[in-house]
Each structure stands twice: as structure tokens, then as C-alpha cells.
Amino acid sequence: MALPPTRKLPKDFLWGFATASFQIEGSSDVDGRGKSIWDDFAKIPGKTLDGRSGDIATDSYRLWKEDVALLAAYGVKAYRFSLSWSRIIPLGGRNDPVNPKGIEFYNKFIDALLENGITPFVTLYHWDLPQALHERYNGWLNKDEVTKDYVNYTRVCFEAFGDRVKHWLTINEPWCVAILGYGRGVFAPGRSSDRERSPEGDSSTEPWIVGHSVIYAHANAVKLYREEFKPTQKGQIGITLNGDWAMPYDDKPENIDAAQHALDFAIGNPAAFILSPSADTPLNFSRNSCTGWFADSIYLGFYPPYMREVLGDRMPDFTADEWALVKGSSDFYGMNTYTTNLCKAGGDDEFQGNVDYTFKRPDGTELGNQAHCAWLQDYPEGFRSLLNYIGKRYKLPILRVTISFISPVTENGFAVKGENDMPLEDALVDNDRVHYFQGTTASLINAIHSDGVDIRSYFPWSFLDNFEWADGYSTRFGVTYVDYETQKRYPKASAKWLIKWFKEHDTPSDKDIKPKATVPVREEAPKLIDKTNSSDFSTTSTVKGSPRASPTPKAMRSRGIKARVTRYLTALVAFVK
């Protein structure tokens, strides 16, 4: 009997991999770059699990040509990366000078991607606020000042790169900016009410102020782009929000409400779309008017009633004119998601909506395969549920714009347990990560074809193993293994599996960029540090583990063309195998 035809991805679907500037670039004091809030924070003892910083990371500022060549060898259609604000405007402010070397670097990088047929998908802000702005007026705690400086920074980027960049993300994961940076204090700038963790900060008020500022800055940047750049540059601009699927622990009404409340404090209320853990039938919510902090403010124009109930006058508000600006301030919904949580009532963690999370079902079984990080298990059914929820809830005309593609999946990935401690040959056979992507890609296709969800892109996290924020380099999310001592890149089994899957499911389009050239081998060969993804507190792109002590970085290896060619050929040979 003939096999059924392969269900294809939509025409013009973009796929590739994702990274962030601070996590891969290194060269923190090179070519005029200023400090970001992560530079000094990562060097404070105890702030990263292995005591290491982003000074070298994967050395991609120096090895960028090698990285583009590897992306081209993978055959990706797009690459999601972020710009470093402090590399472009070292002191960050609207009256501070622009760094021509920073502009030159990103211009060359964008041109090289396009020459190799790769669409740039650019994040303007991925957690790396210029340190000078934090010192000048407390950064994101000062809504009016930081908005003016952020909008000026985005203007510089639109003017410099917008003739070639047609896909913009304003802010990556505002929940992490606010909660992890100003509530829990585990991310830069590390403010918290916990005086053992931070000498200053107020976790009861600052996260909500920061979230409010981020939303407002985002909306003003979108307004700028739409009014002054979009008519000629013809691009799209939006935000990417983190959030994992929430399911009730069981059918008890209080746990059904708990799943709703968890989403209220992150994304939104899925109302009738949440499934019972014991049946494939929807559960109805008692408060289906409650919705999420960032998604409902940006797409629907209000903050969740449940959040207002919990926070009272600690929850900032916008004026009527500001709400009019915020509502509809995204051309699409960028979705970062990694796992699913079973939710119980009775928690006392305000940042989680006073909900307890677990992966253990009432019968004692685990929801899925355990990752290296405690907060992540493999559960593809939740990925499909979340795609359906977002697609159904937010696919509607909003203010002056209709969302043109509901859900680019801008991050999604898995950290294999103990991968950092494995011999290279074992780490490259990352079967648990392959299993994870087998599930999420099946859910992706089912959501598109069976459920009718409009999804236009998918960016697994991450292209490279890298500096994973508070986790340092102890957790690895990359589909490409990075040897932090030699800077060599080695494709893992997951990279090969994803590349094969996307080639089988791709629909050719006349909009596909045709490669114009191959990137020449660079004459310089710098070095990288050890990095990964782990944190107890992130629900998206960080990982938890008990890392071994990482070795002190050794002296820089040979930088001649011979060393460069050796590393590059090693990676390509591993890929072909």
C-alpha cells in the first residue's frame, strides 16, 4: 500500500536556528563596544553556575564567517539573531555617539547571510541593556527615559539595516527581563528584595514597573517603524513572548483555575482550550475573561483582571492614549516555548500566579522525558495545545493592523541531561534532543494541517551551544556542539535530523533567497568559552543543573589560516558524516 503523501510546510515558511548576541559574540571590549548589564553581573561570584562570563562565549564576533558558512552548509532558510545595543551605541543614550564599528560588523554579517540565501530575522533587544543607562537612571525602572533611548536605538538600526532586514523582533521575553532581572534577581541587573542575593531592589513592585516599561518601549518602537520605515522598507515588526503550556494537575476546579492563573501571569487564559490531564476533552474555566500580562496588553489592550486582583495598586496602568498605542503593537505573535507544566492550586510564588508547578501526574508517572534542567520535560502535546490557543485567541483584527502571521515559533529546544560531561562522541549522538524535535515538528505539522493554525516560521534553540546566562556553560541547548577550548563546531544528530526533516517538508517558493556566494574561509581563528542553558527560574531559554567546575580558559590558540581551515573542515566533515 502506498504511503500517504508528506504534509508540507506552507509556502514561504521560514526555518532556521536562533541565537542571541551576548550568548555567542564575546569580544566584549573590542572595536568600541560598551558594557551591557550582563558584563559585570556575570563576573560577580555566584551569579553564574560555573563562575564564567560572556567575555569570549562562542567567539562569534571573530568567527562569524565560519558560523555563516556552517548555516549555509545546513541549508537553513533563515537565522534569528540579536543585535548588541552597547556594540551599536556603547553608552546607550539618545545623545550618545553611535559606534561605526558596530554598524559595520552587523552590516557585513547581514550581507553575508543574504549572499548565502539566508533571511535575517533580527531581535533588537535580548536582555543586554547598556550598563551606562542602568547607572544613569536605573534603566527599565524609568519608563519615560528608557523608552526614549530604546526608540532612538531602534531608529539607528532601522536606518542602518532596514533596507535588508524585513523581520524585526523588538524585545525577547519581557517576562524574563522583568521577573528574573528585577524580581528573583538571578539575571542582570540582579535586583531583588532578597538581601542575600542583592543589596538593592524591591521584588514586590519593580518587576511590574519593568514589565510596564518594556511594553511601552516596544509599542513606541513599533509606532516609529510603522510610521517612518515600513512604508518604504516593507518589513514586519513584532514582539516575542515566552510561556509554556499549563495543564490542570487533575479535574478539581481549584486546579483548573490554577492552570488559568499560571497563564495569566505569563501569556493568557486558554479558556476552553486547556485539556484535562486525564481526558482529551476541554475543560472550561470559571474566569475566561482573565488573560495574560504581555499578550493581552499588546494584542487586546488590557491587563488581566486576575493580575490586578493579586497585585492591587502595585500594578501600573497606562493612560487611555498609551493603551491606544500599546493595543495592536505587533504584526505577529512571536512564541518562545519549551515545555508544559501541570498546575496545582495553593502555591505562594506570586511570579507564577500563586500556582505550584509539577511534572508528576496524580498516578506518579512523569509527564515526559527529563531534560538537564529541572524546569523542562519533553511533552509535544502541550506544544500543539499552545499553538492552538495562541492561534485561536489572537488571530483577529487589532486596531490598525491584522496579524499577518500568528505564530512564528521563535524559540523551542531541549537540553540533554549531562551532555556537558559526556565525551564528544557521545554528546554528538543527542537522541533525547532528536526525540524532542520529532515530537514538536509532528505537533507543528498537525497544528498547521489538522488544526488550521497559521504558523509561518520555526527557530529551534539553539544554533550553537553557548553562554546560557545564569547557567554559564554547564547546560547545552545547541544542535551544534561547541568545544569551548578549541572553538571547533560539530553538528549533532539533532542538527542532521532537523535539516533532513525540513528539506522533506519544505515547499519551494519564489520568495526563497538564492545564494549569491559562499563565505570565504576567514584568516583569523579566535577562541571560545564554555556555555549552556540552565536556571531554576526561567520557563523558556535557561536550564538547571549541577555543573562541574569549568576549566579556566587557556591561552588563545593559533589564529593562522591553517588553524582556521582545520576547524572549519572538521565541522563540515562531521556534518557530512
- List, by residue number, the catalytic residues: 173, 411
What's the one-letter identity of residue 391? G
Cβ atoms within 10 Å, residue 575: 18
d(Cα 338, Cα 321) in Å, to the nearest integer? 35
Q: What angle do CA 245, 369, 339 make, to 5 degrees?
A: 15
Cα 422 off chain centre by: 26
C-alpha cell at 336: 518562545
Amino acid, single-letter form, for residue 295: A
Cα–Cα distance between 39 and 62 in angstroms, integer?
A: 18
Q: Where are the alpha helices (DSSP H) in 202-245?
A: 206-224, 230-233
**Residues 6 or more apart whose Cβ sits within 8 Å of residue 134:** 37, 189
Distance CA 279, CA 387 (A): 19
Could you give the angle at the alpha carbon of 437 between the alpha carbons of 432 and 470, nearest 5°?
70
> What residues form DSSP beta bridges with 561?
none
**Contact between residue 21 and residue 128 where contact means Cβ atoms under 8 Å apart:** yes
CA distance 33 to 559: 22
β-pairing, 333-336 vs 408-411, is parallel
3-state secondary structure of 245: strand
Which single residue is written with the C-alpha cell 515538528?
Answer: 441
361-391: burial string, b at 16+ Cβ within 10 Å, e else = eeeeeebbbebbbebbbbbbbbbbbbbbbbb
CA 236 to chain centre: 18
Q: How far apart are CA 208 and CA 318, in angstroms?
A: 12
* CA pair distance 555, 60, nearest whole angstrom: 17
Residue 168 host element (H or E): strand 167-172
Q: Nearest-CA neighbor of 395 among 444, 439, 335? A: 335
Q: What is the largest CA-CA distance in the chain?
A: 70
Asked if 467 contacts 54 with a C-beta cutoff of 8 angstroms, the reply is yes
The span from the CA of 259 to the CA of 341, in Å, is: 9
Distance, in Å, from the CA atom of 491 to the CA atom of 156, rounded to the nearest integer, reads 35
Q: What 3-state class would DSSP assign to 412?
A: coil
